[in-house]
Amino acid sequence: MIIISPMKDCDVVVIGGGPAGSTTATLLAERGHKVVLLEKETHPRFHIGESLLPANVPLFEKLGVGEEMRAIGMEKWGATFVSPWHDHIAGFQFAEGTDPSIPMAYQVRRSEFDEILFRRARGVVMEARENCRVREVELGDKDNPARVTATDRDGTAHEWRPKFIVDATGRDTFIANKMKIKRRNPAHNSSAMFGHFANAVRDCGKDEGNIIIFWFDHGWFWFIPLKDGITSVGAVVWPYYMKARDKPLREYFLETVAMCKALQERLKDAELVSEPEATGNYSYVADLCQGDNFILVGDAYTFVDPVFSSGVMLAMNSGFAGADVIDARLKSDKAAEAKARQRFNHVMRVGPQEFSWFIYRVTNPTMRDLFMAPSERLGIKSAVISVLAGDLFGGTRFKRGLYLFRALYYIFSIAHLRRTFVAWRRRAFNIRDDSEMRLTRG
Ligand SMILES: Cc1cc2nc3c(=O)[nH]c(=O)nc-3n(C[C@H](O)[C@H](O)[C@H](O)COP(=O)(O)OP(=O)(O)OC[C@H]3O[C@@H](n4cnc5c(N)ncnc54)[C@H](O)[C@@H]3O)c2cc1C
């Protein structure tokens, strides 16, 4: 039997209780707005995206969850790069970035991390529901109010009449799908397989929590040490490689890991303790991130690639910028709203753009050379570290170093013209793929 509960009025419905949604909901509720937060799953639940950036840390403090994040997080002070085409390993410490006040981040189990953020929101919002999937959204117009319809797992249907709607549904991209404004990123395409290992060989001391990136012929691997001794390992590969899978995912994943000697060495006594998962075609963008009475935050607007662990930081930042838009709107402060909308646009576009320049080139031999032997001169290395720390919105001055790095990249590319051309052709071939979005288990 379907039970329909009476229609309710509220200021804001936030759809999705991941980092973007919980952040937005908390900030708005704390400013006195009546917020409803809806999540289709029950926390704690698995989610990929376990490596955070230093720029996340001040956001935890602002939300009042710093202590809880310290308790669950493995300290991540830097990143290490391992390349089969170089005879040394390379790396950096975030403390070498332009802003030394954000020297570290955390590696987290997203089940714990997302639950902390969701519970934080639940403590302040008017209503927070798990197991409650939004099925229908009418954005409304000047004559008709917006309407959000959702159902609990037991079939109970709920309806709200909000003044504003936040789409924080992550890669489900609810509103972008509904409005048919979601576009595949023509400049990028990759797929991933990932799982958790016990007994992986980690570095010692302060480096234990570093993320390690291993390049290999078909892409690259992440190695993310978690606090409880488990290590998350993922292979990010070109779609052709994933399409060639001819055996169960577990076997294919382990076979892929074995292709990377340096990684295999760290996993030789390790055991894969979770069923691996695979996901593909996750690089997309929506045509717009805001409308009159709605915004898209986090992955609901765009996602590019996981290589620089930027997703959660960008998602939470979009929640901060988005909350300003909605707050001004609900207070009918037109000047503040216009300013907040401009800033929201900036945050949604500039963050992914800055990372994209690196993401599109990370498997290019010139970029690999630069990462394996970073120039310490003229602030170049610290500027690159600042981007990789996610320090994009705090006003830190590193543009000059970044432009010099890019100039170096183009100079080396021209100096090795043949190699550059071959790599460019190869990449154009690799990213050609228009297969359907899919998520495979087992
Ligand atoms: C392979 C891979 C590896 C990654 N690694 C990293 C990493 O190391 N570091 C990093 O920072 N980022 C990483 N990311 C990206 C990161 O996972 C996302 O950017 C981040 O989770 C975005 O947060 P969000 O709140 O926007 O979306 P999500 O975290 O996806 O949250 C969306 C929430 O909305 C809920 N939802 C969806 N539809 C509905 C509905 N109709 N009704 C109600 N609820 C709904 C979902 O259940 C979910 O809880 C990775 C991504 C991939 C694909």
Q: pTM score > 0.85 for this model? A: yes
Find, among 121, 148, 117, 127, the residue nearest to 36 by Cα. Answer: 127
**CA 133/CA 130 separation, integer angstroms:** 8
* Distance between Cα 122 and ligand 1 center (Å): 19
The pLDDT, as a whole number, for residue 21 is 98
Q: Which atom of ligand 1 is nearest to the CA of 114?
A: 29
Q: What is the DSSP string of 372-404?
A: HS---GGGHHHHHHHHHTT--SS----HHHHHH
Asked if 22 contacts 37 with a C-beta cutoff of 8 angstroms, the reply is: yes
Nearest residue by C-alpha to atom 14 in ligand 1: 49
* Distance between Cα 47 and ligand 1 center (Å): 7
Digitized pLDDT (tens) for each residue of the chain, 442 residues in all:
566 777 899 999 999 999 999 999 999 999 999 999 999 999 999 999 999 999 999 999 999 999 999 999 999 999 999 999 998 888 899 998 878 888 999 999 999 999 999 999 999 999 999 999 999 999 988 888 899 999 999 899 999 999 999 999 999 999 999 999 999 888 888 899 999 999 999 999 999 999 999 999 999 999 999 999 999 999 999 888 998 899 999 999 999 999 999 999 999 999 999 999 999 877 899 999 999 999 999 999 999 888 888 999 999 999 999 999 999 999 999 999 999 999 999 999 988 988 888 888 888 889 888 888 877 776 788 888 988 888 888 776 778 888 888 888 999 899 989 888 888 888 888 887 655 444 443 3
Residue 220's DSSP bridge partners are 215, 236
**CA 411/CA 42 separation, integer angstroms:** 51
Find out whether the beta carbon of 351 lies less than 6 Å from any atom of ligand 1: no
Pairing of strands 8-15, 294-296: unpaired
Q: Collapsing DSSP states into helix, strand and coil, what is residue 25?
A: helix
Nearest residue by C-alpha to atom 1 in ligand 1: 192
Mutation test of ligand 1: which of 40, 42, 189, 308 has the most ligand atoms closer than 8 Å to its C-beta? 40
Nearest residue by C-alpha to atom 15 in ligand 1: 311
* Distance between Cα 173 and ligand 1 center (Å): 10
The pLDDT, as a whole number, for residue 206 is 92
* Distance between Cα 110 and ligand 1 center (Å): 9
Find out whether the beta carbon of 79 lies less than 6 Å from any atom of ligand 1: no
* Distance between Cα 242 and ligand 1 center (Å): 21
Task: Output phi, psi for 81, to 5 deg.
Answer: -115, 135
* Distance between Cα 205 and ligand 1 center (Å): 31
Helix and strand counts by DSSP (H, E) for the chain: 14, 22
The pLDDT, as a whole number, for residue 357 is 87
Q: Which atom of ligand 1 is nearest to the CA of 53?
A: 11
**CA 186/CA 180 separation, integer angstroms:** 17
Mutation test of ligand 1: which of 26, 38, 45, 47 has the most ligand atoms closer than 8 Å to its C-beta? 47
* Distance between Cα 136 and ligand 1 center (Å): 20
Q: Which atom of ligand 1 is nearest to the CA of 300?
A: 26
The b/e string for 35-59 (b: 16+ C-beta within 10 A; e otherwise) is bbbbbbbebebebebbbbbbbbbeb
The pLDDT, as a whole number, for residue 1 is 56
Q: Collapsing DSSP states into helix, strand and coil, what is residue 171?
A: helix
Find out whether the beta carbon of 390 lies less than 6 Å from any atom of ligand 1: no
Residue 301: DSSP 8-state: T
**CA 57/CA 293 separation, integer angstroms:** 30
Mutation test of ligand 1: which of 299, 302, 313 has the most ligand atoms closer than 8 Å to its C-beta? 299
Nearest residue by C-alpha to atom 4 in ligand 1: 49
Q: Which amino acid is at 333?
A: D
The pLDDT, as a whole number, for residue 377 is 72
The pLDDT, as a whole number, for residue 440 is 41
